[in-house]
Amino acid sequence: MTRFCRLTALLLSLALLVTLSAMPALAEDAAVTEQSPAVTEEQPAEPRPDEPVPAAEESPAPGPSASPAPAATLPILPRDQIPQPNADAKAEAVVTEPGGVALFELPASESAVLSQLPEGSVLGLVILGNPWSKVKHGELTGYAPTYALSFGYGSPQPVIALVAAPGGKLTLRAEMATRSKALASIRSGRAVLLMARGETFSLVRHEGREGYLLTQYLREVAVGRDMGLLTGVVSIEPSREANVRLRAEPSRKGAVYTTVKSGQSVVVLDIQDGWARIEYEGYHGYMMAEYLKRFD
């Protein structure tokens, strides 16, 4: 009986050993199975909320962009000539267009007109965009062409730069040093007002706050007068909701700025080789054209 018990125990031990040795292979197969469906533009991989974003100051300079060539309108100033941030800066815009401009319900000139804004009207700036900015006039919130607005130091035309940090965001600093006080974090793809351009740091205004950003991650752009076409984002599979990536480049390898749900609308400025250059709530980038559909 003792010999039989020992034999039984030995057989059970061998079975357990075989099972344990097979577990890594089984786990690997499971991981492959979970990753096997193709990741499309509709299915972005969401980062964990606690996942750190690399600091832009520590990342390599971004590669060349397929965007339209920047309009260099500000000279590079010596460091000692760059102004200090304006502590009284506000998120405001002034209508400079002779004869005024309309306040539209949507970023589209064919949408409903909420109000007429006379020249000289002071507006609250909600989101700086190009070619449309979201503004507030009294109790009304709508969209106005950016080219018809002035923002800082009485300049008749805004000087706009897009943040293009490879780490996904850029820190607005109180002083011209990477270790100075952080005032805000600005996502890549967003527009800022360029107040003064320096070799290393530039003075900018963002949401009513002025500070310094690293110049190498700013791409100066001309203010557009082509107001684009308001277009709906759709899912390729009508049975489900899509989250479509907005990218830095017209390529599946381009960095993801944000995602746009199906049913939302974007302003399409250009389409080439299956990619649309768009503006969406202050973000500027590229989206695959197959996810866009004109409104009837």
Residue 192 has pLDDT above 50, yes or no: yes
Share of the chain above pLDDT 90, in %: 66
Sign, Cα dihedral of 219, 67, 184, 140: positive
Whether 56-221 and 229-294 share one fold: the answer is yes
pLDDT confidence of 153, banded at 50, 70, 90? low
Residue 276 in this model has a pLDDT that exceeds 60: yes
Q: Can you give the residue ranges of every domain in the chain?
A: 56-221, 229-294
Q: How confident is the model at residue 223 (pLDDT cuts 50, 70, 90)?
A: very high
Q: What is the pLDDT of residue 8?
A: 45
Angle at 156 between CA 151 and CA 160, to 5 degrees: 55
CA neighbor of 93 nearest in space, from 129, 56, 49, 57 = 129
Q: What is the pLDDT of residues 91-122, one digit of tens each?
A: 999 999 999 999 999 999 999 999 999 999 99
CATH number of 56-221: 2.30.30.40
* Per-residue confidence band for 239, with pLDDT thresholds at 50, 70 and 90: confident
Higher pLDDT, 87 or 24: 87
Q: Going by C-beta distance under 8 Å and a sequence separation of 6 or more, which residues neighbour residue 169? A: 53, 56, 163, 185, 186, 187, 188
Express as a percent the part of the chain with pLDDT over 70.
73
- 238: confidence class by pLDDT, cuts 50, 70, 90: confident
Which one has a higher pLDDT value, 158 or 263? Answer: 263
Q: Cα dihedral sign for 179, 183, 187, 190?
A: negative
Please name the residues in contact with 186: beta carbons below 8 A apart, sequence gap of 6 or more: 163, 169, 170, 171, 172, 192, 206, 213
pLDDT, position 274: 96
Could you tell me the two tokens for 101? 């401009």
Out of 1.10.3720.10, 2.60.120.1440, 3.40.50.450, 2.30.30.40, the CATH code matching 229-294 is 2.30.30.40
